[in-house]
Amino acid sequence: METIDDVLAKLDDIIEECYQKESRLGFFAILYRMVTQRVKNGIIAKEFEDNERMEVLDILFAKRFTDAYDSWMTTGTSTKSWAIAFQSSQKTEYLTLQHLFLGINAHINLDLGIAASETMAGQNLEPIQGDFNKINEVLSELVDGVKSKLSTISPLFGWLIPLAKGRDEMLLNFSIQIARDGAWEFAERYHVSLDQNNEITDRDQKIENLADKLLNPGKFLLFLIKIVKWFEWKSVKKVMDELKS
């Protein structure tokens, strides 16, 4: 992939494949395509500090996801962060929100820092921080928009937040802001490390652990999730159509 249009075309292929296979991996792919389209529009409007560099970052960032997807489809291997998302997509007990957060978790907490470092190879990392944060702002805005669709897909979804209020439950406290800050700290360490493979291995394990908490957020919330899930749409294709609308 050499341009953002190449990324969009690849994501379209993944979305179509997931649609035909009724794979829940399509949920995150749809969200991520929205992010990529929004970044493309921002580059055209010259919204970023360095628009040419942002396109490079966007392509390298997207490649982390598409390569992980292709590797999983062909060999069943990937980073641990993506593996837990891919494995969970085959199960019916998780909410659409959980599938989305698993993808965000792997892509922001692990992939974004690596992509930022690759974009700034041989240079200081700091100049890209503003645009690094901008990608997360775009994602956060789009997640907020998707939440309104979740209320349609999952009619009892709105019960989760008030009923779990005041409880330290990982699912509802998952913050893109916190993920962004941690991702930048990782990017800084990775960029200057003499053993980048070890940095990835260590970070990957931590992000896998975070993903496990997203799937197992505590007995009380798990009980609520089972109730909410019972009323959530069962058709993967119908959910994907709603997310794309």
Task: Give pLDDT tens digits for 87-127.
Answer: 999 999 999 999 999 999 999 999 999 999 999 999 999 99
SS (H, E, C) 15-44: HHHHHHHCCCHHHHHHHHHHHHHHHHHHHH
Mean predicted lDDT score pLDDT of the chain: 90
Separation of alpha carbons 215 and 193, rounded Å: 31
Q: For residue 134, what are its two tokens?
A: 């901008």
Percent of the chain with pLDDT over 70: 91
DSSP 112: I
Half-sphere exposure of 32 (CA within 13 A, CB side): 34
Q: What's the Cα-to-Cα distance from 114 to each of 32, 80, 189, rounded to whole Å?
A: 17, 15, 10
- Cβ neighbours of residue 175 closer than 8 Å, sequence gap 6 or more: none
Domain that holds residue 80: 4-244
Q: Give the model's confidence band at 173: pLDDT under 50 very low, under 70 low, under 90 confident, else very high.
A: low
- Is pLDDT at 168 greater than 50 in this prediction? no
Alpha carbons 100 and 87: distance in angstroms, whole number: 13
What does the pLDDT look like over 12-52, one tens digit per residue? 999 999 999 999 999 999 999 999 999 999 999 999 999 99
Q: Number of folded domains in the chain?
A: 1
Q: How far apart are CA 2 and CA 238, in angstroms?
A: 32
pTM: 0.92
Q: CA 243 to CA 16: how far, in whole Å?
A: 14
Q: What tens digit of pLDDT does each residue of 44-89 get?
A: 999 999 999 999 999 999 999 999 999 999 999 999 999 999 999 9
Counts of helices then strands in the chain (DSSP H, E): 13, 0
